[in-house]
Structure 1
Amino acid sequence: MTHNEDRTHWLKEGLIGLGVGVLYGTTSVTVGHPLDTIKTKMQAQAGFEKGGAFRTLIKVLRTQGIVGLYRGCIPPLWGSGIFRSTQFAVFEAVYTYMDNSFGKYELPMTGGLQVRVCVAGACGSTARAIIECPLELAKIRRQTGQSWQFSGIYKVSFF
């Protein structure tokens, strides 16, 4: 590998991770959002807390149709592709960038776990959390018929 190829290899790996993450994100929302809506309604919306998942499904379909199962899916559909691809891209870019003697150093008593895996994992998961948390709030608020404002999306509330 030439010096120029070596310098851009981490970027190429990050872009591949970006593409894989977009595919993963859109597929997971398409398949999983109806189940998530049922779970969220059972946990957080009055009138849905009793009766189980099947009764909740029937109630949503009778009152809102199939659209009710996908209510609130736009933020996670956009965001899922973004935060999952960001996670993959950042992990791959950092992992590849740390392809040196320090990055390949194996942590003692871990069975061969390398420093670059830990650093890349921490960077990737942090990037994902920064994007995912506000999108998850918007999704849940929409699923349960509540309003939300962009200005309060990173508001910290412990109680």
Structure 2
Amino acid sequence: MSFKGRSYRSLDPKGRLMLPPEVRDALLAVSPEGRVSLTTFDGCLVAYTPEDWEKFEAGFARIKNPSRKMRDFRRLVIGGVEELCVDKQGRVKLSRAHMEYAGITKKVVIVGQGSRFEIWSEEELEAVIGQDFGDVTDELAESGVDFPI
């Protein structure tokens, strides 16, 4: 399963987000009840499948004597997680805390990130993807990733 692409959506008045069919179907394929772990990071909401979230959380448990910064990071990410289920109409309800963290009011963008997806305020995402990425090719090359563009 791989989440890819961008999907532009609007929240309904109750803060519910209609997931694109391909996202909803992918979630239902790995979790019959459509569970997703939604957390806060990088100014957006990050959605993990239950299996991937368990692996991620287990990774934190293996860190012995974490630094203060790591503990603060854990507070942000693990403390910000909410377990959601997709309803019969293919929606998830975003909490007020999550919407405030990500600056979401009405218009959102769902952005595929491979094994997970992100939920952004449309305005915030435009600012992020509007930056100059010229130096990223060097970082990719240093990491051994060939990105022939």
Q: Same fold (TM over 0.5)?
A: no
Q: Counting helix residues as a fraction of each chain, which structure ranks higher?
A: 1
> Considering only CA atoms, is the larger Rg found in Structure 1 or Structure 2?
1
Structure number with higher relative contact order (C-alpha < 8 Å, ≥ 6 residues apart) = 2
TM-score normalised according to structure 2 size: 0.23
TM-score normalised according to structure 1 size: 0.22
